[in-house]
Amino acid sequence: MRPFRSRTTAAALGSTALAAALLLTGCGSGGPASKDTAADAKVTLTVDLFGTFGFKESGLYDEYSKLHPNVTIKQTDTQDEAQYWQALQTKLAGGGGLADVQGLEVGRAASVVQKQADKFTDLKTLGLGGVNDELVPWKGAAVKTADGRVLGAGTDIGPEAICYRTDLFKAAGLPTDRTELAAKWSTWQGYLDLGKTYAGKAEPGNAWTDSAAGMFTAEVGQQKVRYADESGKPVFDTSAAVRTAWTDANRLVADGLSAKLPQWTPEWNKAFTTGKFATLSCPAWMIGYIKGQAGDAGTGKWDIAPGPGKTGNWGGSYLTIPRTAKHPKEAAELVKWLTAKEQQAKLFTKQGSFPSSTGAQAEIKATTDPYFNNAPIGQIFSESAANMPAQVLGTEDGVIGKAFTDALGEVERTATAPDTAWQHAMDNIRKANGN
Amino acid sequence: MAISSARLPAVASAGPRPRRAGRLAPYGFVAPFFVLFAAFGLFPLLYTAYVSLHRVELQTADRMDWLGLQNYTRLLEDPFFWNALRNTFTIGVLSTVPQLLMALGLAHLLNYRLRGRTFFRVAMLMPYATSVAAATLVFAQLFGRDYGLINWALGSVGLDPVDWQADTWASQFGVSAIVTWRWTGYNALIYLAGMQAIPADLYESAAVDGASRWQQFRHITVPGLRPTIVFTVVVSTIGATQLFGEPLLYEGNSGGGISHQYQTLGLYMYEQGWSFFHLGRAAAVAWVMFLLIVVLALVNAAVAARRNRTDR
């Protein structure tokens, strides 16, 4: 869809060098940017995002530019959120290179709220006090500081389902009907069992799912408490939710059901077109990702059914305005417009990112998606979202999640014993936290 | 600059004293380098040392807590540091040794009268002129597990595919291949320049005596090139110790693979600083690397000096 590595890494290196230079010369923060107040002056707003937000793809930018002829929007995008976060931290430290609008993944929200609240603009000061009022309550609460500042505007949430390839299912003699499949994989055990049936009949080299990491993340996302408890204490090493998901994901590997593809890599992206796996843990935003990777050739091959446990949340995002934004007022207008319920609803019908606005959620219930065999995506994801737990977020969720998925990669790709890999995950988390 | 401008008025007031000014002029000419070095080399170096004695986090970079040598002691207790050191060594050997041997052989061949010699010599330098990013991205594609050209070739002769990124030795070999590819031609040209300084009549008389080309290479070329070889070994050792771009871009993350199986010291430093945001720790790694390079350079120099002595 877009060049994912060269540009992002170059940008990361560039910004690193910049921040290092700033840090070394002892000047920690950039000067206040000029604030353009003239109403009709030409303004170029920069927007820096990760993954697939879909604003551009669904034509929202074009629409906005028509409404505001003086505004030009320039978007940059990093596929891998871990790389995006790294670059963002570097720019925040150096105080330079930040866009007017920066995306923020929900797993990083606690970290920003607790450690870096001063580096982002309180949206209330820009007249966006009510921007999160219409959202599902936990979504807005996650970006609110203890003293009431609002640091981000909610875009989407990630209700879970399973995406699957009807053509591969048919070839292996499996049912392709959504309701039938949803019943068969109403539990993760059922999902693994059906996978074994598939593996017995499918062509060699064609796996049941892309990776153990995908299944693990989806399964952990179904519990209220996963990596940290309500008091903020890390519980990733003792949490039953993590243990169960870990065991299930390892069973997936042991049964040979994984294509062993690390997510967000070129190999993984290519596998969308070659059909190397039959199912994929599918939070709503994955729909846009699949469309981007599989392209027009994938039309009609994919379908969606409610997944194991029927619910869960994986990801979802916010839009923030850094303190150093050049055009905070115009950026606030854009953020307000992009996260309003009309736009959230449109984003879902075109791109699949599920709205966090309750108003938009009410509007999109009847949506079907022709790309996915006219699957009733509105209904499937609405039900998933309605039952979703209000997830407890910890400051280190991003780091911890990555350590676990890396460890699962070791199990599936280097035949490391699960217990050893678990220990590696613990070591990596410890290292990242500086202990 | 400071030196010359401070002294110049004194020189002028004391009348024409060309000898004094003449003595000072060289300082003036070399000053720009040292001024720039002080600003962009020495100051960062010392400031890094200062940072390395503190707890500094990127997310709160304005706060520094004094730690003393704790960053260093913690570093020496960290298994990931030793892992990175070991990887740096093995990747260094895997890339430097074949690289220099191949460069020597290539230079020897280019030293003959060949048709299109200039073309080959320029072509040698092409990989060096390619950016690390571009080269690594191409190699990462070649080494892909499922869709890579190399595994496809292995498969076509009936061999099992290799996971060039997850497997320890295979991934280190992959990274080394990029380094070797980039630097072989560069070193070959340095050797070639060294070879041209060896008198041609030595070869002629050797040929008259019936020495084969291999014997000429062993008994004339290699001894004549010894200082050049020492130079390339030193430069390559320093380069290998600092290896960073290739392993970073190989899979696009600073961990050096899912098991850190090809994480070099450079990557380890970067990971500490820019993935985990521990700037103090990263600064300590930087200083350890610096000291390591100094030690390696001294060892190299000592070995070279000793060889020279025993030869005489």
Which residue would you say has higher pLDDT here, B174 or A1? B174
Question: Cβ–Cβ of B167/A414 closer than 8 Å?
Answer: yes
Burial class (CB in 10 A: 0-12, 13-18, 19+), B49: middle
pLDDT digits (tens, 9 = 90+) for A313-366: 999 999 999 999 999 999 999 999 999 999 999 999 999 999 999 999 999 999
Question: Cβ–Cβ of A414/B163 closer than 8 Å?
Answer: yes
**Per-residue pLDDT band at B310 (split at 50, 70, 90):** low
Is the pLDDT at A1 greater than 90? The verdict is: no
pLDDT digits (tens, 9 = 90+) for B96-117: 999 999 999 999 888 887 888 8
Most B CBs within 10 A among A7, A8, A13, hence the mutation to make, goes to A13
Please, what is the average pLDDT of chain B? 88
Give the bridge partners for A78, in sequence order: A50
- Confirm or reject contact between A383 and chain B (CB < 8 A): no
**Per-residue pLDDT band at B16 (split at 50, 70, 90):** low
Most B CBs within 10 A among A89, A424, A430, hence the mutation to make, goes to A89
Tell me how far apart the alpha carbons of residues A347 and A303 are, in angstroms, rounded to a whole number: 19
pLDDT digits (tens, 9 = 90+) for B191-245: 999 999 999 899 899 999 999 888 988 999 999 999 899 899 999 999 999 999 9
**Per-residue pLDDT band at A32 (split at 50, 70, 90):** very low
- SS3 readout for chain B: CHHHHHHHHHHHHCCCCHHHHHHHHHHHHHHHHHHHHHHHHHHHHHHHHHHCCEECEHHHCCCCEECCCHHHHHHHHCHHHHHHHHHHHHHHHHHHHHHHHHHHHHHHHHCCCCCCHHHHHHHHHHHHHCCHHHHHHHHHHHCCCCCCHHHHHHHHCCCCCCCCCCCHHHHHHHHHHHHHHHHHHHHHHHHHHHHHCCCHHHHHHHHHCCCCHHHHHHHHHHHHCHHHHHHHHHHHHHHHHCCCHHHHHHHCCCCCCCCCCCCCHHHHHHHHHHHCCEHHHHHHHHHHHHHHHHHHHHHHHHHHHHHHHHHC
Q: Are A322 and A102 in contact (CB under 8 A)?
A: yes
Tell me how far apart the alpha carbons of residues A366 and A371 are, in angstroms, rounded to a whole number: 16
**Alpha carbon distances (Å) from B189 to A46, A69, B45, B192, B236:** 46, 58, 33, 5, 14
> What's the whole-number mean pLDDT along residues B247-251?
91
pLDDT digits (tens, 9 = 90+) for A123-151: 999 999 999 999 999 999 999 999 999 99
Which residue would you say has higher pLDDT here, B3 or A285? A285
pLDDT digits (tens, 9 = 90+) for A242-276: 999 999 999 999 999 999 999 988 889 999 988 89
pLDDT digits (tens, 9 = 90+) for A151-171: 999 999 999 999 999 999 999
> What's the whole-number mean pLDDT along residues A278-287?
96
| Minimum CA–CA partner of A274 in chain B | B147
